[in-house]
Structure 1
Amino acid sequence: MSIKLIATDMDGTFLDHNKMFDYEFLSQFYKMQDKGIYFVLASGNQYLRIYHQFIPMSENIYFVADNGAYIAHGPKVLAYHTLTDVQVRHTLKALERYEHLVVMMSGLNGTHLLKKDKKYEHVAKNYYRNLQYYDSFDEVKDKIMKITLFDPENDIHLFEDEIRSLLDEGVTATTAGNEWLDVQPVGVNKGNGIKLLQEKLGVSPDECVAFGDAMNDFSMFKSVTYSYAMKNADDRIKAIAHEVLPYTNEENGVVKKIREILNK
């Protein structure tokens, strides 16, 4: 296979539990640059958070951030997608019944949380930057790309179907692991973000590799020919993968597979 684009999810895939990646990747990244292979970070994380994490490589990385809501090449924005004000308002109203869930809104100008949830700041900082706190979300003046729910009890799957049924037409929700549920416009996902890059870069699905572990990677797997699920992946992701790797994210499975690809 002739590979021109390699995309990877971050948490549960490329990063270990300490949010770190194997340092062999540093040399791999520059090998990819030499070979003309585009590298894409496709994550539910906020763009600013990822960009700063990968400096100085960031200027040459493509980003499909906020699950495809924000797409960039280095510091250059290529596209972004937001919920309408009505969709945001109706979603927040529907979520009021889930008092134990923490709501985080990712906007173009920052990440918005309620003051009552400030005790979860250490969690939010793992995924977002520029945190802003309010007494009420009515005070937020920003365009919102994603509304994320964090379940401190790690049981978000228990509420997934019910929450999805409460959302407006044109809005959907996707899980990312056991703690997170992301609410976004229908059609905004990692897969369509990858397709935008494929069109812009002149790359076909047969020339693309993707790594993932959770349901927010489902659409990305459908957009490439060579999809690799981690050993620790959701069974639904394993079922559609081109191959299930014999390694978990803790065993640096992505770096090992990239090594194999670059050596071919």
Structure 2
Amino acid sequence: MPASDIRLIATDMDGTLLNSKHELSDSFLPVFRKLKEQGIIFVAASGRQYYNLLKTLDAVKDEVIFAAENGSYVMFQDEEIHVQAMDQNIVRDLIITSRNIPKTYAVICGKKKAYVESAEPEFIDHLKLYFERYEIVEDLLKVEDDQFLKFTLCDLAGSEGNSYPHYKHLQETLKVKVSGPIWLDISHLNANKGVAMEVLQKKFNVSFDQTMVFGDYLNDLEMLQNGYYSYAMANAHEEVKEVARFRAKGNDENGVVEVLSEMLDSAATTV
């Protein structure tokens, strides 16, 4: 690849940049520093909460652009670049529907924090992996003083087969995405990682051909369509592999960092 032409790199986090233990490889930071020396913009694009991403990438938090909540909240150095909130009445309808689906736990992903009703330990253990700030409330229908970026279900019976069918019919008016084996994300129709990429490409005057992206799950599809150098992880969902042009080794094999290292080495040898 013409490594010297790459100006923007975006990667999903869980199942992509992070290993199966949700850890960042020690080899990431040296590669990241080299990318910054080349003037390459780095984006962490994730379904995770913004505050959780800040913690996960604490060592470089002032140098990374965060496309959090599946791209509905894009931040850089505490500056809001893009916000795509949902209508609160729509979120309330989603909550009501969720109460008839077994083994699911609803999460309102607000700009200030996340809101949940349940303190069930297994659910909270999953929640803490992705949300740094959250509040347990008596009734989600009474939450008002926040902007709602996303509605999420933690589905311990499996999101693709259990909860997704209850919301699939909304796909013409909302962005409904199976974002992991036990996660279902519902956002504004114009809120996804692909739109976030378009916003950043326009802001920094970066072209489709100058963009590299990495992903593994269905909430990465739009992002993969917004960069020529689109990589599906070896562990990716089959639909992701069909959309991506290239392959990277699995997240437990440090696939993202390996591709970036090869790109940097290629650029060095051509100088």
For the criterion TM > 0.5, the same-fold answer is yes
Query: After superposition, where does 1:186-205 map in structure 2 within 5 Å?
Result: 186-205=189-208
Equivalent pairs counted in the alignment come to: 262
Would the aligned equivalents of 1:118 and 1:133 in 2 still touch at CA under 8 Å? no
1:28-67 paired onto structure 2 within 5 Å? 28-67=31-70
Counterpart position of 1:253: 255
User: Is the CA contact 2:155–2:162 (under 8 Å) kept in the aligned structure 1?
Assistant: no
AA at the equivalent of 1:145: L
SS of 1:99's equivalent in the other structure is coil
Partner of 1:206: 209
The superposition leaves residues 32-63 of structure 1 with CA deviations (integer Å, 9 ceiling, x where unpaired) of: 11100000000000011001221231101011
Q: Does 1:18 align with 2:21?
A: yes
* CA-CA distance at 1:71 after TM superposition: 0.3
Residue of 113, 122, 127 corresponding to 1:124: 127
Q: Share of identical aligned residues, percent?
A: 30
Provide structure 2 residue ranges, at least 5 long, that are not aligned to the other structure.
Answer: 267-271
1:44–1:65 Cα contact (<8 Å) kept: yes
Aligned to 1:146: 150
In structure 1, the gaps of 5 or more residues are none
Following TM superposition, where does structure 1 have runs of at least 4 consecutive aligned residues deviating by more than 3 angstroms?
Answer: 115-119, 165-169
In the TM superposition, what whole-angstrom CA distance separates every residue of 1:207-260 from its partner, at most 9, and x where no partner exists? 010000000000001111010001010010101111122x21001000100001
Structure 1 residues 251, 109: closer, same or farther in 2, change over 3 A? Answer: same
Shift of 1:118: 5.4
Residues 97-117 of structure 1, C-alpha deviation per residue, up to 9 Å, x if partnerless?
103111111101111000354
CA distance in 2, matches of 1:14, 1:73: 19
| One-letter amino acid of the counterpart of residue 200, structure 1 | K
| Stretch moving more, 209-218 or 155-164 | 155-164
SS at match of 1:145: strand
Q: Deviations over 1:168-213 (max 9, x none)?
A: 8622310112111101111210001011000000100100100000
- The question of 1:224 aligning with 2:220 is answered no
Corresponding position: 1:173 with 2:176 = yes
TM-score (norm 2): 0.92
- 3-state SS of the aligned residue for 2:35? helix
CA 1:168/1:194 → structure 2, altered by over 3 Å: closer, same or farther?
closer
Range with bigger deviation, 136-145 or 10-19 = 136-145
Within 2, Cα distance between the matches of 1:168 and 1:42?
A: 22
Moved more, 94-103 or 197-206: 94-103
2:109 is paired with a residue whose SS is strand
Report if aligned partners of 1:213, 1:234 keep a CA contact under 8 Å in 2.
yes
Equivalent position amino acid for 2:155 in 1: D
